[in-house]
Amino acid sequence: MDAVSRRQAGLTALYLGVFATIWFSVPAADPPLRAALVVASGLALLTALLGAVVVVRTGRAAAALPRDRAADRRYGVIVAVEFAVAVLGALALAGLGWSEFVPVLVCAVVGLHFVPLAPVLRDRLLVPLGGALCLVALAGLVVALTSAVQAGLVAGTGAGLLLWGYAARALLTTTRTA
């Protein structure tokens, strides 16, 4: 694995590890699930920190390579649209008194944003990750509508596990090929 690919995998572990940590903090859970979520959050954060170590260790050589400005612009647009849709959707749900479903919406939006990001980041596995996140969002919605379980518990736990798993996979690729 070249330095650029190693750096990209480290960045993936860093970013998705941080987001997994955040998703694990979404659910309001009772013990013993709460303890499991805290442990998972800590492990996801450790994955993010190890990703940061990989990024730093790849050195300046990988970071100094020329940037693809068109890809950077597409990335920025995709993330800006994702953020806008998530915020506006969350505000609309809150305004309608359906705040419980905000994690479902955000999980679905995050899942959908991985589809156009896959070619930009040259990572085709982001598409199935996005699909899995959308399925988690759907599961959260269905469970919340048909039981007393909160949508955020399903969406937060599911999204956290998926993102952490993907971050860990990226981190492992750097150690296997180092």
- The residue extents of the domains of the chain are 3-176
Q: Count of H helices and E strands in the chain?
A: 7, 0
CA gap 77, 89 in Å, rounded = 18
Structure confidence by residue, pLDDT tens digits, 78-134: 999 999 999 999 999 999 999 999 999 999 999 999 999 999 999 999 999 999 999
- Distance of CA 62 to CAs 4, 54, 55, 76, 166, Å? 5, 11, 9, 21, 22
Sequence-ordered alpha helix ranges (H) in 97-150:
102-121, 126-146
Q: What is the pLDDT of residue 1?
A: 75
**pTM metric for this prediction:** 0.94
| Tokens matching residue 153 | 């518990």
Q: What is the pLDDT of residue 66?
A: 73
* Cα R_g (the chain), whole angstroms: 17
Which tops the pLDDT comparison, 32 or 176?
A: 32
For 131-148, give one letter per residue: b (16+ CB within 10 A) or e. ebbbebbbbbbebbeeee
Q: What is the pLDDT of residue 76?
A: 96
